[in-house]
Every structure is written in C-alpha cells, then in structure tokens.
Structure 1
Amino acid sequence: MTEPAVGMLLVATPALLDPNFADTVVLILDADADGALGVVLNRPSPVPVSEVLTPWDDVVSEPEVLFFGGPVSTEGALAVALLRDDDAPVGFREIVGRLGLLDLDTPPELVDGTVDQLRIFAGYAGWGAGQLEGEIEEGAWYVVPALVPDVFRRDPAELWRDVLRRQPGDLAMHSTRPSDPGLN
C-alpha cells in the first residue's frame, strides 16, 4: 500500500462503490494528519468556463470547460496550473515543481505569460483524518505517481485506463477490465 501524498494520484478500483468516484482519477492536492483533499481529473462538465469565470476563458486549457472536481463545495472552484518556468505569479501555491494551485481571485493579467496550462474544477474530493487511508486499506483506491500531462489531457475519457496501463506489475493488468464485468 502506498501512502497518499501531495502530487500523487488516486485511481478508483472496482471495489469503490460510491458513484461519485466510479472510474475516477484524483490528483491529491493536500494530505496530512487532518485529512486529504484532491480533484477528479477525468470528469469534464458541459459548462464552458466562459459562462461562469469569464476572465479566465482565455487562459484555461482545452477543453475550455469546468471539470467536476468532486462532490464537496461544488459551488466553489479550484484552479490547477502549470507554470511556464520557475517564476511563480501572485496567487500561486506550489503542489509539486511547476504544478500548483492558482487563486482565481488573482487578476488574470497578473498571471499573463506565466501559466502554461490551467484547469478549473468545480468542487473537490475531501477526506477526514484517517478516512482516505482506510479506503486505501479496504482496496478502494490505487495510489500511483502522477505525470503532469494527466492533469491537462485534452480528452480525459481514457485517463483511468492509461494511468493503470503504465503501472508496473499486476496493476497494469487492471486497465483491461471491462466496465461491466458481467458482460465479459
């Protein structure tokens, strides 16, 4: 069992029965003794960013829609950004390397030219103290390393399978499971 840590991915297993997380890939943004927080990377919404956060529609990466970050606080938004270089703009908090959270209250003109990629998530996934570790121990999540392109895929539909496919050993085999094993 790999411990959840900032910058890692949680990949939902078939044992996870919560429909909010079926076949999801979650980027861990914060993890400590008090709990964990992350965003679902592979749930785009049909809502264009231009309809709800107009100042950011020229900065956000394709597809230029909001993503469902998780079931908690869906009326709020979190922005994950990849910097062009090591010069962080105002309102940027590093997660890992050049990847971090960008405060959406920052005027977009202050980040102009500093952000290479940006994705905006409505809501987030959250766990209380020990909750995520318990779910991992029960077999609900695989904890694997993240790659920056995982966060900003143009078409995230196959992210779950692709993340598992690149894992070593038996874990890669899980990428071939059918959506409905009863049809196999």
Structure 2
Amino acid sequence: MITPQTVLDVILGITPVPGLSAAFTLLKFIVSNIEGVSRSKRRLAILAQAASHLLQTLNTELRAGRLAQSTCAQPLDELHSLLIDIESFVRAEQARTFIQAVWTYDTRMDEIDGFHRRLGALADAFQISALLNIQRMLSGDHLAYKQQSEAANVRIQTQTGMFAVVSLLCHY
C-alpha cells in the first residue's frame, strides 16, 4: 500500500494546471493530516490515494488537451467541493477522542464510503467529458480520415496492379 507520505511526495512533484491548484492544495492538506487520524487512517489513506490518482490523471489530460476545462467545469467544482468535505472530515477525525472514534466508527466508515462513491461518480463524469472531447475531435478529423482512407485505397489498388504485372512477368 502506498503511504500518505508517498502520495504527498508525488503530489508535491506535480505542477498543476491553474484550474486544479486549489484542489491540489486541499489534497496536500488532507494527506498531511491523515497521519493524525487513528482508527480510520488506512481507509483515509486509500481515499487520498484514489483522489491523488484522479488529480494526476486530470492534470495529465488537461495539460495534453484531451480534456477541456470548459467541458468539465461542473465536475471540477464538484471535485473541489468533495475535497473540502474530505478536509472537514479529516479535521473532525483529528479532534475526536479515542472513545468518540470507537463510538462513531460505523458512521465514519459510512462517510468514507460515501466519499469513495462521490469520487467514483466524478471519475465517471470526467470520463464522459473526455469522451465528448474525443467525439468532437473525431468528428473534426472525419474528413481527414476519409481523405487518408481514399489515398490508402488508391495505394492498395496501385500495389495490386503492380503485383498482377509481376505475377504475369514471372510466368513468362
């Protein structure tokens, strides 16, 4: 399992695109405070790892232009909101006494599960945005593809004709 410190080290090495800097800052805080959480530390580390992976992927896709901030503004806002909720949860976890942590264990685990579900839904939303961008690129490239396809067909026909000539020459 990747430790929270390893996740933080990875995040610290990334220069986020402007639309993700606030999300990276929140994630850095979340990861650094997970160390103080006693009972749900492992589950929160997994949650931080999942959020880190999503942020890394989004950063890569936005930087490469395969995902446009304009098409995923709402999911980015929802991601920011989710990270704020996780940060609040981690702060509350740190403030709990051991007895409070034991007493509220099931509720806390349900909350962490909810964070995982929200993160999964956001990943799906970003994939949909990416698919829409891909569809837009594909429709724009359709003409170029058609032209390339026609050129390939001409090359194939030319090569087929050449093979026929070579075949005839070999029989003589």
Mark yes or no: TM-score above 0.5. Answer: no
Structure with more strand by fraction: 1
Structure with more helix by fraction: 2
User: If the length of structure 2 is used for normalisation, what is the TM-score?
Assistant: 0.28
User: If the length of structure 1 is used for normalisation, what is the TM-score?
Assistant: 0.26
